[in-house]
Amino acid sequence: MGLNVGSRSSRLNITPLVDVVLVLLIIFMVTSPLTMNQIPVEVPPAPPEGAVPGAPNIEVTLRADGRVDIRAGAASELVALLDVPNRLRALRTGTLAGAAVFVSVHTESPYGNAVAVMDAIRAAGVERINLAR
């Protein structure tokens, strides 16, 4: 009856470890598509037939000094912020009735002035405001 100390195998059994890793992998593969956040994107509709690309637009520019420049086609005029709704209503009648309104803001003008200009454009009845550089 001798004692065999070195005959015992000291190999590590990794089968349970592989089972756990495979189960975790399957869990992550199943749950990862469910956790993705989707951002709704509003794709613009196709232009109606007969629409002329490059139709005239109205550009509203807020300057650093607080004055507002409204440009429609080749005509341009400086107006006060309080006069923007009336001037846009006048411009959007006739040939510019369906014109898109683009807004650009000088980098040094305060954020509150930019919001006030967009509010004034909304007050003129413009439903969609396009931002320009």
Domains of the chain: 58-131 (3.30.420.270)
Does residue 51 have a pLDDT over 50? no
Show Cβ contacts of residue 78 under 8 Å, excluding neighbours closer than 6 positions: 67, 68, 69
pLDDT value of residue 27: 93
Look at 30-44, 63-77, 86-100, 115-129 and tell me which has the smallest mean pLDDT: 30-44
Q: SS3 for 41?
A: coil
- 130 strand-pairing partners: 102
- pLDDT, average across residues 45-61: 68
> Rounded to 5 degrees, what angle do the CA atoms 91, 68, 108 make?
150
Q: Which residues pair with 77 in a beta bridge?
A: 70
pLDDT value, residue 99: 80
Is 129 a residue whose pLDDT tops 80? Answer: yes
Tell me if the pTM is above 0.85.
no
Measured CA distances, 31 to 74, 109, 121 (Å): 57, 47, 46
Tens-digit pLDDT profile for residues 85-123: 998 888 888 777 778 888 999 988 888 999 999 999 999
Helix (H) or strand (E) holding 78: strand 75-79
* Percent residues over pLDDT 70 in the chain: 84
Distance of CA 86 to the CA centre of its chain: 29
Two tokens, residue 2:
């001798």
